[in-house]
Structure 1
């Protein structure tokens, strides 16, 4: 995936990779910086944010990594693209915004990328790893839509558009141009834009949307 993104939009949009070891050992742990993110490549929510290495242990992270590695994510909801992925643990730099917080997650749903500029809706997940997680849906003009998605509550006061909104949308469009549908996840701390992931079956295709008609309306865009 990193090679695909590098070829499409450039290496500068990849979150810097610290390590991608064949085996997670004590020496790998010892070489990690004070702050990092541990991930696995073969499923959803395999993410562990470490902001202070002194507060975690190698044994604790290894147990978590082994649990991830032993999980066949295809068997959970039969999302077939997970079936051929060779499981791997890797470590990335921890991205922080100007307030030293985890940046918002811009999940750009892209419909019809193969036919030109896709139809796009942006789901902004704020404070994803905190105690006040919110999910807000916008169109490309940053109109706050009366749409709820998944378990997230909408913000009473919606977040303002990022200064680099056009860059976010342009990158999402480029990464979506080989697909009829894909959700492009991006981060935009400061004035940068970083790639998160490409998702073809968000929530295994069963995440509830509110009101129900939105599920139908977005589904029609797949035809």
Structure 2
């Protein structure tokens, strides 16, 4: 996969690039927390435990039955997603007419996907497949708040990718900065935003929040939604871009890679190879023995 996307062979046991270290993680890093971060519902609990309430979108619904999602009665605008994969997102705004049949067919397609097997990301592989509906993080006109993706290494924020959405075609462009808000002229999947992005008014608070969530991990990306005088946590991401991107300039891949210090990488790789164990299981329900854990409920409505 790496060769097909990046056009070169990766160095797996002696990785130097950021993208190579992500392949190392997918193969050898079996931290059980990744199953929490890769579950968009369970990650809500993690964030609330570290930050307290009120720092995330409100959850209106979570369940595994598309027919049970109350599309017409949900507060608008809202965002419908799967809990177990990337890029499964549908935004319903205040004036939208919902095609329930088409949207529920899309939900069934989402539930059939095992993102972990598809992308070789073990944190996703055994996550319970569900649907989640959250409040929309944006302004009253339906414009989403700006995304800030903060790259944290050993619990310290080092780099920030901001995403700008503009124009009638909702073009997504990005800019990279360091934590002092010096622009880095890097490009990955999207074209760089050509204008000037002003330093966020609450950048220091956003960095402190990201570092609280990333404390104890050698690398995590913390995604935030910046509403100006307030911000929210979106996702905690262990597999940024799945490591299947090319940077321009190529040096940026090495700069990010140099910030990431893999701990005992050869020893941990040897353990994973020798014991042929490449599996991350989701956490057990609190206080319930494994043998007695109940089956997933078909629906659940959560009021925050």
- TM-score by structure 1 length? 0.91
Paired residue secondary structure (2:253): helix
1:216 pairs, out of 254, 258, 261, with 254
2-structure distance, mates of 1:92, 1:17: 4
- Gaps of at least 5 residues in structure 2 are 1-42, 262-304
Paired residue secondary structure (1:14): coil
Q: Is 1:5 matched with 2:47? A: yes
Q: 1:92 maps to which residue? A: 134
Q: 1:201 maps to which residue? A: 239
1:178 to partner: Cα distance: 2.4
Q: Is the 8 A contact 1:104 1:187 kept in 2?
A: yes
Q: Is the 8 A contact 2:222 2:236 kept in 1?
A: yes
Q: Is 1:132 matched with 2:174? A: no
1:40 to partner: Cα distance: 0.8
Paired residue secondary structure (2:127): coil
Q: How is 1:118-157 mapped onto 2 (pairs within 5 angstroms)?
A: 118-127=156-165, 130-150=169-189, 152-157=190-195
Q: Tell me which structure has the larger Cα radius of gyration.
A: 2
- TM-score by structure 2 length? 0.68
2-structure distance, mates of 1:146, 1:119: 18
Q: Is 1:109 matched with 2:151? A: yes
1-structure distance, mates of 2:141, 2:77: 16
- Say if 1:149 and 1:221 are closer, same or farther in 2 by CA, change over 3 A: same
Q: 1:60 maps to which residue? A: 102
Instruction: Report which structure shows greater RCO (CA 8 Å, sep ≥6).
Output: 2
Q: Is the 8 A contact 1:33 1:53 kept in 2?
A: no
Q: Is 1:23 matched with 2:62? A: no
Q: Is the 8 A contact 2:151 2:222 kept in 1?
A: yes
Q: 1:39 maps to which residue? A: 81
What is the CA deviation profile of residues 99-122 of structure 1, one whole-angstrom value per residue up to 9, with x for unaligned ones? 651111111111111xxxx14200
- Say if 1:27 and 1:101 are closer, same or farther in 2 by CA, change over 3 A: closer
- Say if 1:64 and 1:215 are closer, same or farther in 2 by CA, change over 3 A: same
1:27 to partner: Cα distance: 6.4
Q: 1:51 maps to which residue? A: 93
Q: 1:74 maps to which residue? A: 116
What is the CA deviation profile of residues 68-116 of structure 1, one whole-angstrom value per residue up to 9, with x for unaligned ones? 1100111222011001210110101111137651111111111111xxx
- Say if 1:137 and 1:99 are closer, same or farther in 2 by CA, change over 3 A: farther
Q: Is the 8 A contact 2:93 2:142 kept in 1?
A: no
1:34 to partner: Cα distance: 3.2
